[in-house]
Amino acid sequence: GEDERERRIETALDELGDDVLILGHNYQRREIVEHADFVGDSYQLSKEAANADADYVIFGGVTFMAESADIITDDEQTVILPSMEASCPMAGMAEALQVDTAWAELTSMTDENIIPITYMNSYADLKAFCAEQGGLVCTSSNAHRAFEWAFERGDKVLFLPDKHLGENTAHRLGMEDETAEWDPWDPESDAAEAVENDIILWEGYCQVHERFREDHIEQVRADNPDANVVVHPECRREVVEAADVVGSTSTICETVENADPGETWAIGTEIHLTNHLSRWHPEVNVIPLCGEACMDCNAMRQIDPNYMTWVLEELIEGRERNVIEVAPEEKELAQVALDRMLEI
Ligand code: 13P
Ligand code: SF4
C-alpha cells in the first residue's frame, strides 16, 4: 500500500543520504514533490542541477529536462529518470534532423541572419544544432530575454518548437505584426513568405495547454466575478490575452503565494500543479481553469512513485537504472546553448 511505499522511499533516501539529490518539476505527482529536495520550474531545475554536488541526480520530470541536467552537471555525476517513458510530445515535434533540412530551405531564401532559439522542451541534438547556428535555449521564464539576445546579434529569429510561446513572446516584445507560422511539411506554408517576417514560428505546441480555451475563462468569470486567472505561456494567444497573469510554472506559484486570503485564482496549467497549489495555500481559493479535469500531462505522470522506489533501492544495491546520458558529440554544443541561456 501507499504507507509501505512511503516507508521504503524514506528508508532508501536515509541510506543514500547526500549521494542523491531529487529534483522535481512543479507538474510531478504529490508523492514525488513531497520527496524532492527542490521543486520548481524548468529554469530553476536547470540552475539546481548546475549547482548540484550529489553523485546522483534523480529527476522527477521528463526526458528533455533530465538530458539538460546531464549536460549541465559534471561528467562524474549521474542523472537518473525513474521512467524512460516520460517524454514530452512537444519536444518530439522538432527533431534535429528535420530542422536541419528545413533550416537549409529557410536560410536559402534570405541574405539576412537568422538566429534559431529552441525552447528547453527539445532534445539535446536540437539544442546542439541551435548553438552551432549561433542560437540558444530558453525557458518560459526567459524567452523574452532570449529574443532580445538574438535580435542584438541577428536580423530574424526561428523559434522552435512551441508556436504559442513564440507568439506570446512576440506580443510581449511588441512584435506581433512581425511573426509568421511556418510548417515546412505543409505545401500551403511558404518559406519565402515566412522569411519576410522577423519571427518565424515552428509548428509545435503542447497538447495539454492547447486545450485551454477563451470560453473557459469566460465561464470561470461568469461563475465567480471576483476570480483572477493565471495561465502558462504555452496556452493559445487568445487565452493569454484574456488572463490576468501569464508566466512560467514558478510565476504561477508566486502569484498564488502572494494572493490575499480569500482571493480566487483559476489556474490554466497542468492539473497536478493546480492541486499542489490548492494544498499548499488553503487560504486562497485555487480552482482549475477548466473543470473537465482533462489537463493532465501524460509524460509527467509517468514518474510513478513505485518507479522512484525502484531506482533508489537499485542504487543501494549498486545498480544504476534508467541513466540518462547525452552523447558526447552533442553534449558540448548543447552545453553552449544552455550556458548562453544561463548567462542572459
Ligand atoms: P516551466 O518552465 O514553466 O516549468 O514549464 C515547463 C513545461 O513543460 C510546461 O509545460
Ligand atoms: Fe510537454 Fe506539455 Fe507536458 Fe509540459 S505539459 S511536459 S510541454 S506535454
Helical ranges in 108-157 per DSSP H:
124-132, 143-153
Q: Which of 160, 154, 106, 164 is nearest to 129 (CA)?
A: 160
Rounded Cα distance, 182 and 194, in Å: 6
Domain boundary among 173, 202, 231: 202
On the question of pLDDT at 281 being above 70, the answer is: yes
For residue 201, the CA-to-ligand 2 centroid distance in Å is 18
The ipTM value here is 0.98
53 and 25 together in one domain = yes
- What is the pLDDT at residue 154? 98
* Ligand found nearest the CA of 41: 1
**Inside any domain, residue 266:** yes
279 and 234 together in one domain = yes
Which residues participate in the annotated binding site for iminosuccinate?
Answer: 25, 42, 119-121, 140, 232-234, 249
Q: Which of 296, 327, 325, 313 is nearest to 81 (CA)?
A: 325
For residue 248, the CA-to-ligand 1 centroid distance in Å is 6
pLDDT tens profile 69-83: 999 999 999 999 999
Q: Which atom of ligand 1 is nearest to the CA of 139?
A: 2
Average pLDDT over residues 205-214: 97
Kindly tell me the burial class for residue 270, based on how many C-beta atoms sit within 10 Å of its own C-beta (0-12, 13-18, 19 or more).
buried
179 and 113 together in one domain = yes
63 and 101 together in one domain = no
Q: What is the CATH number of the domain that holds 118?
A: 3.40.50.10800
Max Cα distance, the chain (Å) = 64
**Inside any domain, residue 337:** no
Domain boundary among 202, 221, 255: 202
Q: Which atom of ligand 1 is nearest to the CA of 121?
A: 8
> Reading across the β-sheet that carries 179-182, which strands appear in turn?
136-138, 114-119, 156-160, 199-202, 179-182
Rounded Cα distance, 203 and 182, in Å: 6
**Inside any domain, residue 229:** yes
For residue 232, the CA-to-ligand 2 centroid distance in Å is 11
Average pLDDT over residues 223-241: 97
Other beta carbons within 10 Å of 102: 19
Domain boundary among 202, 220, 240: 202
On the question of pLDDT at 291 being above 80, the answer is: no
**pLDDT cut 90: percent of the chain above it:** 97
On the question of pLDDT at 122 being above 80, the answer is: yes
Average pLDDT over residues 114-138: 98
* Ligand found nearest the CA of 91: 2
**Inside any domain, residue 257:** yes
Residues with CB under 6 Å of ligand 2 are 62, 88-90, 121, 206, 208-209, 234, 270, 297, 299-300
- Would you call 233 helix, strand, or coil by DSSP? coil
On the question of pLDDT at 206 being above 70, the answer is: yes
Instruction: Categorize the per-residue pLDDT at 233 as very low, low, confident or very high, splitting at 50, 70 and 90.
Output: very high
279 and 313 together in one domain = no
**Inside any domain, residue 111:** yes
On the question of pLDDT at 293 being above 70, the answer is: no
Average pLDDT over residues 95-112: 96
Q: Which atom of ligand 1 is nearest to the CA of 88?
A: 8
**Inside any domain, residue 53:** yes
For residue 225, the CA-to-ligand 2 centroid distance in Å is 30
Number of structural domains, the chain? 3
77 and 30 together in one domain = yes
Domain that residue 272 falls in: 209-296
